[in-house]
Amino acid sequence: MSEKQIYSLTIHYVTGKSQKFAFRQQDENSNITRNIESLQAAGQLILMLKDKMLWIPMSSIERMELIPAPRAWPANTIHGAVEVK
């Protein structure tokens, strides 16, 4: 059995605060792209931490960064973009 992928998720809130989380691929059949689309539809992100469950309404999130990028992307993804400063 191979080691499950570790993801880094940084959440940037509309308040200017940021939080960073790390998690492993949820199970062998997990599809991170399907999970992203599901949380967008649900309007909330739920994280199970070691000692608590955290609900974050999508309305309080400005943006999220997921590293590494998943192999499959949501349909509305622009590929090959480069950040310009």
**Is 58 inside any structural domain?**
yes
pTM exceeding 0.85: no
**Is 85 inside any structural domain?**
no
- CA end-to-end span of the chain, whole Å? 42
32-51: average pLDDT: 82
**Is 16 inside any structural domain?**
yes
**Is 12 inside any structural domain?**
yes
Can you give the CATH number for the domain in which 20 is found?
2.30.30
Overall residue count recorded for the chain in this entry: 85
How distant, in Å, are the alpha carbons of 24, 48, 75, 79 from that of 51? 17, 8, 35, 37
pLDDT tens across 64-75, in order? 998 988 777 777
9 by Cβ neighbours in 10 Å (0-12 / 13-18 / 19+) ranks as: middle
Q: Could you give the number of structural domains in the chain?
A: 1
Q: 42 lies in which domain range?
A: 6-67
pLDDT tens across 27-37, in order? 665 667 677 77
